[in-house]
Structure 1
Amino acid sequence: MKNKRMKIARIECDMNQEDLAKAVGITRQTIGMIEACNYNPSLKLCTSICKALGKTLNDLFWEDDNNEKEEKIR
């Protein structure tokens, strides 16, 4: 399942992957892999991303059963 919440938050902040990567000190490819759920970021990186996007860990990274069920239905 892709991390659509992170991508949406990034777009809402008018940032592309490169902008977010520079803001948190990683590569654009890493942002892409996180959004595609092909990379499991450290807690430190997650909090840096949240600060850069003005979101909480729950907003971007918490998965609950309801969100998972809705994604599977679509």
Structure 2
Amino acid sequence: MANPPLTPEDQERYQARLQALIVEHRDLDQVISHLAENPPPDQLLVPRLKKRKLQLRDQIWEVEALLMPDEPA
């Protein structure tokens, strides 16, 4: 199914959203790495963070798909 063309404002908004998701994903990766070396008292914290990281990855893919044109220009 083809995505409707985005207005410049929509593109700008999606680009900002994409950057925010990428930053949060990267930050979570660093936190998870740190917690793997220094296990927290809460045993469920790392699995919750990993789940959130996967959700972010999916959201990143969705926004990238919206920003990618369906046909070559």
The normalised TM-score by structure 1 is 0.30
More helix by percentage:
2
When Rg is computed on C-alpha atoms for both structures, the one with the higher figure is: 2
